[in-house]
Chains A and B, each alone.
Chain A
Amino acid sequence: MADEALFLLLHNEMVSGVYKSAEQGEVENGRCITKLENMGFRVGQGLIERFTKDTARFKDELDIMKFICKDFWTTVFKKQIDNLRTNHQGIYVLQDNKFRLLTQMSAGKQYLEHASKYLAFTCGLIRGGLSNLGIKSIVTAEVSSMPACKFQGQRVGNWISPANIH
């Protein structure tokens, strides 16, 4: 879909813009990642609100993660998450073997050191989406060979299900 091109280009410009105006160094790199992640967070919150306006209530945490992996991921990245693993104690690993934001970059190990910059926004996106569904989390990403990547979500605290609110 044509819209996708616009978003991909905007995302790439955002990443290069954030890094261009920053200096070199570990601390600066961390700040840039945080900036991108925070932007993703805002967007994730807004998106999930629009998305779940008319959907039925989620039964449990796993239901929410499945929603993220199927419907959410398909709408945003045109495909589902390929693999979801969990330890049933609040840690979820979402694996995407052909992540849309990395396919144009390389197929393999080239530019691996830059991959994290292009994943920060999406980590925020997931964290924002989960946050508005009652799950406070920490989301990180890991790439070993592009364009495959893994997003790890760790729940912080307990899930506040609507049923628990009186």
Chain B
Amino acid sequence: MSCPTHRRPEYRKINKDLFVLTYGALVAQLCKDYEKDEDVNKYLDKMGYGIGTRLVEDFLARSCVGRCHSYSEITDIIAQVAFKMYLGITPSVTCNNSSRNEFSLILDKNPLVEFVEELPAGRSSLCYCNLLCGIIRGALEMTHTTELTHNQTISGGHSKGPFVQEQAYFY
């Protein structure tokens, strides 16, 4: 039965909102459960790791990417294929050192913070998007790319349109 008075909502967008809103509810709950920011960050990273180890299988099945031969190739694939597939954005990649084993993924537009106004008071060292770090870490470990360290810095005080920078150091 058609309902001419209803305007069709954007289903795809709302489906993405489901993930973003769920993530927000999760972080809010974690902030209630843990007083220290480091604990929340650690928990998010661990969770992301669990997701990443499984997500990589889904990614490889869907994307048919070939074997990568260098760390910069890996980072490009993460930025241009994986991020695009799952979050609909393409972060830019910069290489931080001459031995080409340290890269930064820069997210200008971060869908995870779409509904976030600013971080709650007293939570200034909360890495809101730390789940992403864990996911990348987990995914890379599953593909036997050893990663030495992985951290995330968010520059630009408030969360309204934060500029997220993830740095991956490959070993």
Residues of A within 8 A of B (CB): 1-7, 9-11, 13-14, 16-17, 21, 35, 38-40, 42-43, 46-47, 50-56, 71, 74-76, 121
Contacts and interface: CB of A to CB of B under 8 A. Distances in A.
Contact of A55 (B6, B26, B50, B58): B6
Contact of B18 (A35, A43, A71): A43
Contact of A43 (B5, B22, B33): B22
Given A42-B24, A50-B17, A75-B14, 9 more contacts: A3-B18, A5-B58, A6-B55, A10-B23, A13-B51, A39-B22, A43-B25, A54-B9, A121-B22
22 contacts: A3-B86, A6-B51, A6-B55, A6-B86, A6-B87, A7-B18, A7-B22, A9-B54, A10-B131, A13-B51, A35-B29, A42-B25, A42-B28, A47-B18, A47-B21, A52-B9, A53-B9, A54-B7, A55-B9, A56-B6, A71-B9, A75-B18
Contacts of B13: 50
Contacts, number: 95
Contacts of B16: 3
A9 B51 contact: yes
A9 B12 contact: no
A54 B23 CA distance: 25
A145 to B, nearest CB: 26
Interface of B: 3, 5-7, 9, 11-19, 21-26, 28-29, 33, 43, 47, 50-51, 54-55, 58, 62, 85-87, 115, 131
Contacts of A2: 58, 62, 85-86
Q: Identify the interface centre among A3, A17, A42, A54: most chain B CB within 10 Å of its CB.
A: A3
Contacts of B26: 10, 14, 39
Given A17-B43, A54-B7, A1 B86 contact: no
Contacts of B58: 2, 5
B45 to A, nearest CB: 12
B21 A46 contact: yes
5 nearest interchain CB pairs?
A56-B5, A39-B25, A42-B25, A9-B51, A54-B7
A9 B22 CA distance: 12
Given A39-B26, A51-B14, A3 B19 contact: yes
A11 to B, nearest CB: 7
Contact of A10 (B12, B19, B62): B19
Contacts of A43: 18, 21-22, 24-25
Nearest to B62: A2
Contacts of B21: 42-43, 46-47
A3 to B, nearest CB: 5
Contacts of B47: 10, 13-14, 17
Nearest to B11: A75
Nearest to B32: A35
A46 B17 contact: yes
